[in-house]
Amino acid sequence: MNDLVTVEVIEEHVVLLTLNRKEAANALSSALLDALTESLQQLKKQTQLRAVMITGSGEKAFCAGADLKERKGMTNEQVVETVEKIGDTIRLVEELPVPTIAVINGVAFGGGLELALACDLRVMNSNTKVGLTETSLAIIPGAGGTQRLTRLVGLGQAKKMIFTAKPITAEKAREIGLVEEIAPLTDLMASAEELCKLIAQNAPIALRQAKKAIQEGFNTSLSSGLEIERLCYQQTIPTEDRMEGLEAFKEKRKPVYKGK
């Protein structure tokens, strides 16, 4: 791991990944992207993991997006390479096999919001704003924003956010379905942790297969999606956890799942 990114075990099966460039609003420098990639690759290997929270250090910013000071000295080719690097890193977030929650503690602009969009769920500080502000800088979202935002909130709302480059409030973000929950900053982490607890109490193999079925089925036809769901469901049948769930239900107790 790297000082630019910390990974902390919050409780059994749940970790918190924090971007640590508070002095730069947690902007995505090349070094931070390298550290984030390393951390995500390590998390992907953890078979007992059930949920991951991602946040930014400090109280002002979740992530302000690309490091524009670093980018100012780049050639056109280097800019293209860097944007692709951001996109590849964010894709690693999306590809984590367990549920992920973006804990948006402060502003999330450009690549910062694109990072949050790659998570499965988003919990947001009720006193901050988020936005895809790239068109105001004569570029467009280049790390998945035009695609993931549209799929999440719909064509019209995504076009409005991207075309105007205007950040929106937490209330508006919840209204259009961009975030699932909002809370004051003082309660934000507790809200995210409670959500993680609800997730982590469930069977890990089932969680992974549910995420796979949703992710892979969303952008295909209904018939294809149903086939994906059927195959993912089959993966849960021979597990010890499934039998534990049935026994626990019969005995009226809380199941103890082991990911087997």
The residues carrying an active-site annotation are 66, 111, 114, 134
d(C-alpha 129, C-alpha 164), whole Å: 15
d(C-alpha 243, C-alpha 9), whole Å: 28
- With a CB cutoff of 8 Å and minimum separation 6, the contacts of 73 are none
Q: How far is CA 108 from the centre of its chain?
A: 12
Could you give the 3-state DSSP secondary structure of residue 99? coil
- The answer to whether the CB of 140 falls within 8 A of the CB of 92 is no
The arrangement of strands across the sheet holding 129-131 comes to 61-63, 107-109, 129-131, 168-169
Q: Quote the crossing angle between the two packed helices 204-218 and 222-236, to the nearest 10°.
A: 170
